[in-house]
């Protein structure tokens, strides 16, 4: 059972897409649909079912790539925030603890910048991968 968003609010069966008012105990209960099963056996839904399946697969594929793209974007932003904190807070402390000038610890900042760049590249590989056949 699905209800369309306002202002429509039409209620319909998610299997046969028929009006929900026509469903109930006589059509197999609220979790089954005899209308759909009968029509499917007659071949009515073959083409529509294929289109729905293709749309579902397309959406799942998009979600797969988008979620990974977005996750890498968040990881890149976190790496940038961590880099800023490292520069502002931890680098001075580390310099004092190691008795090294901050210029000698420059490699840590460079490594962190490399992580940020790798996250950027990895993020966009998912956008690229989405369009590969």
CA angle 44, 49, 47 (to 5 degrees): 55
Residue 99, pLDDT score: 80
Cis before 7 (ω within 30): yes
User: What percent of the chain shows pLDDT beyond 70?
Assistant: 98
Residue 49, pLDDT score: 78
Residue 46, pLDDT score: 75
Residue 102, pLDDT score: 76
More confident residue, 121 or 28: 121
87-114 burial: b if 16+ Cβ within 10 Å, else e: eeeebeeeeeeeeeeeeebeebeeebee
Question: Per-residue pLDDT for 19 more than 90?
Answer: no
């996250």: which residue's tokens?
Answer: 119
pLDDT grade for 73, boundaries at 50, 70 and 90: very high
Question: Per-residue pLDDT for 106 more than 90?
Answer: no
Residue 74, pLDDT score: 97
Residue 88, pLDDT score: 82
Among candidate residues 110, 107, 114, 105, the one with its CA nearest the CA of residue 76: 114
Question: Per-residue pLDDT for 104 more than 80?
Answer: no
Pairing of strands 2-3, 11-12: antiparallel
More confident residue, 124 or 28: 124
Residue spans of the domains in the chain: they are 1-44, 57-133
Among candidate residues 41, 38, 17, 43, the one with its CA nearest the CA of residue 28: 38
pLDDT grade for 39, boundaries at 50, 70 and 90: confident
Separation of CA 37 from chain center = 32
Query: Measured between alpha carbons, how far is 110 from 67 in angstroms, rounded to an integer?
Result: 28
Query: Measured between alpha carbons, how far is 39 from 18 in angstroms, rounded to an integer?
Result: 12
Residue 69, pLDDT score: 97
CB of 85 closer than 8 Å to CB of 78 = no
């Amino acid at each position: 059972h699905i209800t369309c968003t306002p202002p429509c609010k039409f209620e319909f069966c998610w299997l046969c897409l028929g009006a929900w008012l026509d469903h109930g105990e006589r059509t197999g209960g609220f979790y089954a649909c005899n209308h759909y099963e009968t029509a499917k056996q007659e071949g009515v839904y073959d083409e529509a079912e294929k289109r729905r399946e293709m749309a579902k697969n397309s959406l799942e594929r998009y979600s797969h790539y988008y979620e990974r793209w977005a996750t890498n974007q968040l990881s890149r932003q976190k790496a940038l925030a961590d880099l800023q904190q490292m520069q502002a807070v931890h680098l001075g402390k580390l310099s004092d603890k190691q008795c090294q000038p901050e210029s000698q610890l420059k490699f840590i900042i460079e490594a962190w910048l490399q992580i940020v760049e790798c996250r950027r590249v990895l993020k966009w590989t998912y956008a690229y991968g989405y369009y590969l056949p």
